[in-house]
Homo-oligomer: A and B are copies of this chain.
Amino acid sequence: MSLPHAILTALLEKPSSGLELTRRFDRSIGYFWQATHQQIYRELGKLEQAGHIRVLPSPQPTRGQRKEYEVLPAGREELASWVDRREEPRAVRDPLLLRLRAAAATGGGADLDEELRRHLLLHREQLAAYREIERRDFPPERRISREDRLRHVVLRGGIELESFWITWLSDTLSELSGGPGGPDGVRPDATADGA
């Protein structure tokens, strides 16, 4: 039950139309939550009906025309109460880990190295993108409000998660290529991480 809260957060940061929200979910918000435009439009309808948001009257919403939403007090209160709620940590559910275990069970997966290297590359690119955001939005000398700190630690979470994957994938490639059934020695590109 987090999508409505993600949308409320995004609208609090800046009132937007559905398509603008979609683009923001593809960018900064997408670092920790994804949503397609279909999800977003459906949820905007629900939130409006619940009295949590409203359509701004200014851009005169006719059919097929852009509708800009803003958060109402009730929506802000709902979001604030959700922030203070207890929630259990989300359990891991990762298909790649499962596939390695499946490879162990079938005895197959001879070409897994290639897939692991492909993922390694993707995570390195993602990490570079996050670091660029960090450089741009959180320069070290900046005066730091509590809000900026919160946003920064969230980004740090994304950065460190990507770093985890890069380290783990590199170690896994070494581990799997190091023994019988693979070429001996450690692959040079598997140990140099993207930092």
Contact = CB atoms under 8 A, between A and B. Distances in A.
Interface in A152-195: 152-154, 156-158, 160-161, 164-165, 167-168, 171-172, 175-176, 179-181
Given A101-B151, A150-B103, A156-B168, A32 B93 contact: yes
Number of copies: 2
Interface in A6-25: 6, 8-9, 12-13
A87 B96 contact: yes
Contacts of A156: 168, 171-172
A52 interface: no
A124 to B, nearest CB: 11
A84 B167 CA distance: 22
Given A34-B91, A151-B101, A176-B153, A83 B106 contact: yes
Given A79-B102, A171-B156, A97 B12 contact: no
Contact of A167 (B30, B79, B100, B160): B160
B147 A92 contact: no
A104 B5 CA distance: 13
B151 A89 contact: no
A165 B148 CA distance: 21
Mostly, the A contact residues are helix
Interface string A130-160: 0000000000000010111111111011101
A31 B94 CA distance: 9
Contact of A92 (B87, B105, B158): B158
Contacts of A6: 98
Given A118-B86, A167-B160, A12 B176 contact: no
Interface of A: 2, 5-6, 8-9, 12-13, 29-34, 76, 79-80, 82-84, 86-109, 111-112, 115, 118-119, 122-123, 144, 146-154, 156-158, 160-161, 164-165, 167-168, 171-172, 175-176, 179-181
